[in-house]
Structure 1
Amino acid sequence: MEAVEQKDFFISRRYNLTWAFVLLIGCYLALLYPVYFPRQKIIWRKYMKERQLNEVLLNHSAELLNQPCRLMWSQARLRELYSVKLTPVVPVFLQMHDVGSTQSGLDKFLTPFGLKGNTKLAIKALQGLPHTSLTPELVSRTCKRCVVVGSGGVLHGSQLGSHIDRHNIIIRLNDAPVTDFEEDVGSRTTIRLTYPEGAPKSPKEYSNNTLLVIAIYKSVDLAWFSSMVNKQTLGWWTKLWFWKSVVESVPIKAENFRILNPKIILETALQLLQYPEPNNMMTAFSQVPTIGMTAVIAAIRLCDEVSLAGFGYSLEQPDVPLRYYDTVRMDAMKVQPIHDVETEKIFLRTLVHARAINDLSGGIS
């Protein structure tokens, strides 16, 4: 009798554990489903009804473009706003002579804030590049206007495409598409700033006139970069270290690849956003700027006047689409832990209000 009772007990416990697991998974999916699988037509209709078309923004953008370009405007305003002394000259793209040099400071921090322990990998990656600066055409311009095009849903229906295309340098982020969205986001791309997991998988998003700039967040990113530049097969061991599948072939020439200088990420994090100094023992838990925020500082380093389009997170409006090209909701930003979007929003709002940068799409209030 006792043996039967024990058997029943263990069967009952197994049964309860199974149902507990099923319920846990069910609750998890119930929380994530509304964020990642919203009803597209309802969300966009509600969003566009609230936003409509803002002729004021279009007129403001046209007015800015019709004015003469102002030399060193955005960088000078940034220096006035923040008392910290920014290093006068920081190359936006990683240079061979800085890798391994103690004076560059790149050996002080691990990726993504430096190259500590990755000097050999960085040298190998740079050896495959014919050029490590802007194209001669862009370098020769006396005054350059930049626009950093974010992925924000605020761009949907904005009709800013023709205005965006009038800038000298157009910086896009990750795999944000241009094809089929030209009316709102423009058709030209000068620089696409991304990382292996974020690189576009569609060949349509690559052009021989575009620089693909890779931000190095971990050691394996350098291995991926070298494979793409040299048109080599990505090893299975390398693939294991990415948090999602990566593109295994990029249809551009070696002369179109660049590596973002880690000092741009470090400068953005420490000096401007005032995050705590990275912990070299576990940089995965350090606060890291979003790639959009990093692109803004890179743009200020590259250009004289900087504008933004498609920036701004409305976390108080959880049902609003997060991006212009899909229906993921604003709620998704609350799931990720390493980006402080509120601090970045305040920082960008300060720059916009001081007219250091221009907000073409009105997402930064």
Structure 2
Amino acid sequence: MLRVVLGWHGLRLLSRMCFAVCPRPPSCSASITGRRCSRLVRLRRATDRCRMGTSEPLGRGREDGLADPAELLPALPGPRGQTVTSGSRDESSGPRLMPLLLIKMLNKSRGKILGVLALFLVMVWYSIYREDRYTQLFYFPVQENKTTCPLGEVEKKAAQLIGNYTRDHPLFLQLKDYFWVKTPSLYELPYGTKGSEDVLLRLLSITHYSLPESIQSLKCRRCAVVGNGHRLRNSSMGETINTYDVVIRLNNAPVHGYEQDVGSKTTMRLFYPESAHFNPKTENNPDTLLVLVPFKPMDFQWMEAILNDKKRVRKGFWKQPPLIWDANPEQVRILNPYYMEVTAAKLLNLPMKQPRKVKQVRGGDGRSPCSPLRGDVLPTGPLAVSSSALSLQKPTTGLLAITLALHFCDLVHIAGFGYPDSANKKQTIHYYEQITLKSMAASEHNVSHEAVAIKRMLELGLVKNLTYF
């Protein structure tokens, strides 16, 4: 638009300049003949072209009353003392007339030139203004999907909830602690390794304990602990969960077929023998850490037999674990029982000492108190606690995973935690199977106390819930 307007005004100005600079030469008369007449004819035609078709004649008798500029010039001396008038000058005097005519035209058109210049400046300003307004209204810069890392916030808030909070303990058991220097443990499993050192020594010789370099090198570890609760179904949280640096999953919860709701990324998967998936490669990434949560000495024996291809252990489990478990030993880790101790003693106020012989009491559905529901979800309302003694209660794998994340992550978010209301006994518990709340009747977990612990974390801002709790 600016170019069109300026071009039109420039064309008008140029035509006016030609009108003033290019006066029509006189016509041939009886006194002008021969070569001079032919030159005047050619000059007249060129001037007509310069005037761009202007129909107004110049010279005496113009309708606008203006005299021909050539008539205003004084007579010039000619050859041999003859005086050449304006009507008899030849074309050789044209170049000398050009500067005078141009100066006179500029003086007369000074106002118009200033007006055109002012119009040009206004059009330039308006063009820049419109472009800036367009940028402000319709240009949206791409925002980086980065969350400001609250370094130190988790440690500060966790110390308010967990007594003697520290990050000095390793996440996984290491061979050197049982080979070079035998560190005595105060508790038996699941809160310590007392009495299981020999089998643990053999197991640690074929597994690893370190975190992947991709996690260790992170300046900010953003973690998501994904429970197995029904509230993940139709939640469309998959893409959000995949954006976290560390994604912790529980037990044998499937991923394939539920990616839209639960995501597909798995950094760690906490499990115990009864909850192990028969083929860990189907529901995990190739680099997923398979973290064994030992609840009893038989869990170590099962893992050792599987990895060394020895005779399978069949007794001592409330449910037969997989007899074939195709996993890479380099991806297997043994969770440090210290975090089970912290979860039980600091968050749930459970006693550490366990009776040596406990009769396995099975519920009406054939499940033992150590049910596969361990660690999946937590209730929102009061839930009847098992009649087992308080010393039999153990933390769920879900609360244990949150405790673990609080000891090495800089940001902890949870998803898929929470049971349906206790009065709704037909509502399924998991997002992937049809087990109802009735199945928890024989569980040895005090899920009501665990719900209170997580709500306390939410109130302190220690964790953030991605799904309603």
TM-score, L = length of structure 1: 0.75
What letter corresponds to residue 74 of structure 1 in structure 2?
V
Aligned equivalent of 1:293: 399
Deviations 1:23-61 (A, max 9, x none): xxxxxxxxxxxxxxxxxxxxxxxxxxxxxxxxxxxxxxx
Deviations 1:133-175 (A, max 9, x none): 1111111111101111101001011000000000111111000
Task: Indicate whether 1:177 and 2:254 are aligned.
Answer: yes
Larger Rg: 2
**Residue among 53, 60, 67 paired with 2:147:** 67
What letter corresponds to residue 138 of structure 1 in structure 2?
I
Aligned equivalent of 2:431: 324
Task: Indicate whether 1:93 and 2:172 are aligned.
Answer: yes
Task: Indicate whether 1:160 and 2:266 are aligned.
Answer: no
Aligned equivalent of 2:214: 137
Task: Indicate whether 1:198 and 2:305 are aligned.
Answer: no
Aligned equivalent of 1:306: 412
In the alignment, structure 1 segments of 5+ residues that lack a partner are 1-62
What letter corresponds to residue 169 of structure 2 in structure 1?
V
Relative CO higher for 1 or 2, CA cutoff 8 Å, sep ≥ 6? 1
Aligned equivalent of 2:337: 262
Aligned equivalent of 1:39: none
Q: How many residue pairs align between the two structures?
A: 293
Inter-CA distance 279–245: structure 2 relative to 1 (3 Å threshold):
closer
In the alignment, structure 2 segments of 5+ residues that lack a partner are 1-142, 360-390
Task: Indicate whether 1:78 and 2:185 are aligned.
Answer: no
Aligned equivalent of 1:344: 450
Deviations 1:66-85 (A, max 9, x none): 42122243232111234x21
Corresponding residue SS for 2:209:
coil
Q: Distance in 1 between matches of 2:234 and 2:332?
A: 32
Cα offset, 1:219, TM superposition: 1.0
The structure in which a higher percent of residues are helix is 1
Equivalent pair of 2:187/2:352 in contact (CA under 8 Å): no
Equivalent pair of 1:229/1:257 in contact (CA under 8 Å): no
Inter-CA distance 340–101: structure 2 relative to 1 (3 Å threshold):
farther
Corresponding residue SS for 2:269:
strand
What letter corresponds to residue 193 of structure 2 in structure 1?
L
**Residue among 299, 303, 328 paired with 1:253:** 328
**Residue among 350, 353, 367 paired with 1:275:** 350
Cα offset, 1:316, TM superposition: 3.7
**Alignment RMSD:** 2.1
TM-score, L = length of structure 2: 0.59
Aligned equivalent of 1:9: none
Deviations 1:330-358 (A, max 9, x none): 2222231x100000000000101211001
Aligned equivalent of 1:15: none
Aligned equivalent of 1:7: none
**Residue among 302, 307, 318 paired with 1:243:** 318
Aligned equivalent of 2:186: 108
Equivalent pair of 1:206/1:251 in contact (CA under 8 Å): no
Equivalent pair of 2:255/2:263 in contact (CA under 8 Å): yes
Cα offset, 1:101, TM superposition: 8.8
**Residue among 265, 278, 285 paired with 1:207:** 285
Percent identity, aligned pairs only, is 32
Deviations 1:248-269 (A, max 9, x none): 2333321100001111101110
What letter corresponds to residue 263 of structure 2 in structure 1?
G
Equivalent pair of 2:158/2:165 in contact (CA under 8 Å): no
Q: Distance in 1 between matches of 2:219 and 2:289?
A: 20
What letter corresponds to residue 318 of structure 1 in structure 2?
K
